[in-house]
Structure 1
Amino acid sequence: MGQVELLYAILDKPLLTDVLFGHFSAAEIIRMSWTCWAARKSVQSYSSRAWSIDRHLRRFFRDPSAFRSLQAQTGTLISGSNALQFIDRTFYPESDLDIYVFPREHLTVGKWILEEAGMDYAFQPNSSQDPDFEKAEFAAPDDDDEQDAMDVEDEEAVYRMKGMLGVFTFISQMDDLVAPLKVQMIVTQVCPLDTVLSFHSTVVMNIISYQAAYCLFAWTTLEDRHGVVVEAKKTRHEAALAKYAARGFHIVSGEEAKCDENHRHRSSLRFGERWVDDRLTWVIPLDMTNVNLPAPTLGTPNATFDPVTLNSWTFGLKYVENPPVIQCRCLSSKLLRFNYIASHSFLRFARPVLHMTGSTEYKKREEYPNSEFWTWWDFLVLNCKECYFREPKKTRPISDIIRKRIEDSLPKAPRFISRIRRYRRVMQADEHEQEDENEQTA
């Protein structure tokens, strides 16, 4: 058997490739897939096993697809060391699951964990929370109790983070478990990603949505094995930083980050505007089998995009001797189903479009209070993003040409009007029915 035939024979055996590719870095696996069709097929087969989100989540939930459907409905993200483990193909036995939720969704997510996760979770309040989960809804821990509210072993989420409203801990102590399972729900003030970007270093700035896993600083984290300190107070984060140093990551200071940004052409520490799904992020698409997407309202088109990809920020240095900073603004509106964060440039670009749309939408909502007939305009942010990349930087904020492109991409009026007319007919029929019942009662 020649060398080529031997290589093909190895690539055709999953038991061998699992061991072989297990020693490859993420970049090496991708390069391997570029060599020939047999290697590509083998890498695809390995990837479906190595990055199986259902297998990863089954440790915490009986039905991972149901949890991912909940993620799609509520915009919940997985982050912290659990997301790093999934992306990096590692396992930390002592770690728990950290999920980040919007403030209006915490009751929905918490009740699902207690009632439908299938692992007999119980709410474990901290010293400032009511034992009843629903009554403890906005009881955020103070600085002294924060260590009690979160596992010390997961210190990337322990420290007071920007925009954190509260922490809720759920414990499962089923008889068949070797050790208790812990799920921690962090309620965010603006949006989950805003809190994730306030972590102590880039090594834990990874997220898992219902649709994909995102390593935001991919080359730095997975290839260089660096964790860049971001606006950290050393005395508060030194324990967490030491933990990741023990796991093989080199903790990088602000000055080192500056050198890395200037001299490493492949580094993901490029200073400037960033997006969740830009070329510096490694995106791992997830199997969507059995994941149910939320039904759109009558006035909203079907969502074909992951909402988390609409977030942007700016990464850079204020002073050479200080850690890098992540700067962003809140992009929120009653027109949007979710809140987002945006770079200053994109916020100036998108704000006029939302204002232009808002006057008409608000009038419609006053006339038709049933939210089933409202239009959620998150897809408009996607349209703005697409036009934003076509627009030369010198002409930003938004120009009349781009405004026209966005207007042309909106749902056509006749389709929406027909839905409103249908709604009116239904309401009139209900009113006539109610009048008939009242007459019969009289």
Structure 2
Amino acid sequence: MMWEPELPRPLPACILQEVFSTAPIYDLILCDLSPRTLVWLSRTCRRAHEAVTHFTRRAYNINRHLSRYFPDPLAFRSLQARTGLVISGSNALQFLDRSFYPESDLDLYAHPGHVYEALEWLESVGYKFQPESWQQQDWHDEVSADWDGTARRVDRHGEMMINHEPNMEYSDVVGVYTFTRSVAMDTETVVLKVQIIATKCNPIQTITQFHSTCVMNIITFNAAYSFYPVATFEERMAIQIPGSNQLDAVAKYVQRGWRVYAVFGPEHAARPQLFLLDEKRWVGDRHCWSIPLDTTGVTPRPQLSISSEHFSWDPSIENGWIMECGGYSTATHVPKIRTHLVMITIFRYNYSYPDAKLAQAIRDWSLSQGQLNHTQLTRQNWIWFDAEIPRFRGVWSSHGQKCTNYRRR
């Protein structure tokens, strides 16, 4: 009779309880688990749920994460709340991945009309402007503090009316402003680099046109979001988005461990949850990985004007997109990110939607309201109607095309 090894006995419950009651012990275990595994573990028992909750709170401490760049992270996050400034690129990826790239910088994406304030704030905390060869030595000569949100934003053909030349790497970018600051860390001096990216429409429209899906992650003042979390953090894969000239950036993420596809393959067809083709997506939807952030000490967004309804949410969460697959053969099944823009003067911010009919319904409603604004009001007493945006979505999701008969609830 062949000898059969004895199966390992399960650990006594008291030992498991002790492990998940001692932070120094369970931290060593949890730090190597993927986000999805952490979620699964948290559902096994009450003690594991408490351990994962406490670990997550420490692992995703945004104030500690930002303290590398800013001596007062809460002041920066208050700037985010006030302006809708969004962190993306490698920094957001590092935060969600619990990793660290010493050579990486901090990329901040700004809405039109908030670029001046963001640049001015950076200078106030010790950062110095580092112009490129084609830029003015003083950024004040390029960026105006007097943004007129009441002026027409698109022409009759739907093209964005921007005076600046677009960035050649990303067509949705107006300009990139680089700032540096030297700080002493441990026994060496480190040069920190922060870039303000001025967007044509809004940060989400720009981010969804990135070179690949692994960097489609953002941090707002009150939450962090990953748009494709299963592909990015579980499978370590990404789809390259055509149209970007950032081939060197793609190579950089390949070196960091991501498997990048130029076209969709059999695995993507077999596992549609990876990239959710032809599904209308929204920032913070059920397919996103969303991490609420502690906002204690963060100054909320002020009211836009005395007659405008106040809203406290970040403008990014009211944006969406849809990934489509183009081509007629497996060799040309390339991804395409499609959005429909709402750039109307009665809204302080621009929005991008995955649904053309919803975008058109909002534009139609805005015609009459815009006529009232432009004939009866001045810039000083303008009424902004951004608070209506989530209501449109709510009515549309409930009644579909009846949204054209929209009435305020």
Regarding TM over 0.5, the answer is: yes
Greater CA drift, 320-329 or 21-30: 320-329
Q: Secondary structure, in 3 states, of the residue corresponding to 2:358?
A: helix
Cα 1:364–1:323 change in 2 (3 A) is same
- 1:292 and 2:299 aligned: yes
Residue 5 of structure 1 and its aligned partner are, at CA, apart by: 1.2
Matched with 2:253 is 244
**1:221-250 deviation per Cα after TM superposition (whole angstroms, max 9, x unaligned):** 1111111111146xx433222221121111
Greater CA drift, 201-210 or 238-247: 238-247
Residue 37 of structure 1 and its aligned partner are, at CA, apart by: 1.5
Consecutive unaligned residues in structure 1, runs of 5 or more = 139-157, 410-442
Q: Secondary structure, in 3 states, of the residue corresponding to 2:104?
A: coil
- 1:218 and 2:223 aligned: no
- 1:347 and 2:359 aligned: yes
Matched with 2:343 is 332
Is contact 1:260–1:269 with CA below 8 Å preserved after alignment? no
Residue 136 of structure 1 and its aligned partner are, at CA, apart by: 3.5
For residues 196 and 66 of structure 1, the distance between their equivalents in structure 2, rounded to whole angstroms, comes to 24
Matched with 2:128 is 122
Equivalent in 211, 227, 242 of residue 231 of structure 1: 242
Which structure has greater helix proportion?
A: 1
- 1:55 and 2:61 aligned: no
For residues 48 and 201 of structure 2, the distance between their equivalents in structure 1, rounded to whole angstroms, comes to 44
**How does 1:131-280 map onto structure 2 within 5 Å?**
131-137=137-143, 160-176=169-185, 178-232=189-243, 236-256=245-265, 259-280=266-287
Matched with 1:15 is 24
Is contact 2:277–2:325 with CA below 8 Å preserved after alignment? no
Is contact 1:345–1:397 with CA below 8 Å preserved after alignment? no
Matched with 1:425 is none
Residue 133 of structure 1 and its aligned partner are, at CA, apart by: 2.2
Q: Secondary structure, in 3 states, of the residue corresponding to 1:180?
A: strand
**How does 1:358-397 map onto structure 2 within 5 Å?**
358-366=370-378, 370-371=380-381, 374-392=382-400, 396=401
Residue 159 of structure 1 and its aligned partner are, at CA, apart by: 6.5
Matched with 1:435 is none
**1:288-330 deviation per Cα after TM superposition (whole angstroms, max 9, x unaligned):** 0111112213323332433211111221112151420111122
Is contact 1:225–1:249 with CA below 8 Å preserved after alignment? yes
For residues 346 and 134 of structure 2, the distance between their equivalents in structure 1, rounded to whole angstroms, comes to 35
**1:84-121 deviation per Cα after TM superposition (whole angstroms, max 9, x unaligned):** 00011111111010001123211110010011x3xx21
**Alignment length, in residue pairs?**
371
Cα 1:299–1:278 change in 2 (3 A) is same
**1:382-432 deviation per Cα after TM superposition (whole angstroms, max 9, x unaligned):** 10011111124xxx27343xx13xx2x2xxxxxxxxxxxxxxxxxxxxxxx
For residues 223 and 137 of structure 2, the distance between their equivalents in structure 1, rounded to whole angstroms, comes to 35
For residues 268 and 4 of structure 1, the distance between their equivalents in structure 2, rounded to whole angstroms, comes to 39
**1:262-293 deviation per Cα after TM superposition (whole angstroms, max 9, x unaligned):** 32153243323211121211111111011111
Cα 1:397–1:64 change in 2 (3 A) is same
**Which one-letter code corresponds to 1:370 in the other structure?**
Q
**Which one-letter code corresponds to 2:213 in the other structure?**
T
Cα 1:33–1:159 change in 2 (3 A) is farther
**Which one-letter code corresponds to 2:80 in the other structure?**
Q
Question: Following TM superposition, where does structure 1 have runs of at least 4 consecutive aligned residues deviating by more than 6 angstroms?
Answer: none
Taking only the aligned residue pairs, the percentage that are identical comes to 32
For normalisation by structure 1, the TM-score amounts to 0.79
Q: Secondary structure, in 3 states, of the residue corresponding to 1:193?
A: helix
Aligned CA-pair RMSD? 2.1
Matched with 2:148 is none
Bigger RCO (CA 8 Å, 6+ sep): 2
- 1:91 and 2:100 aligned: yes
For normalisation by structure 2, the TM-score amounts to 0.85
For residues 191 and 207 of structure 1, the distance between their equivalents in structure 2, rounded to whole angstroms, comes to 13
Q: Secondary structure, in 3 states, of the residue corresponding to 1:23?
A: coil
Cα 1:105–1:305 change in 2 (3 A) is closer
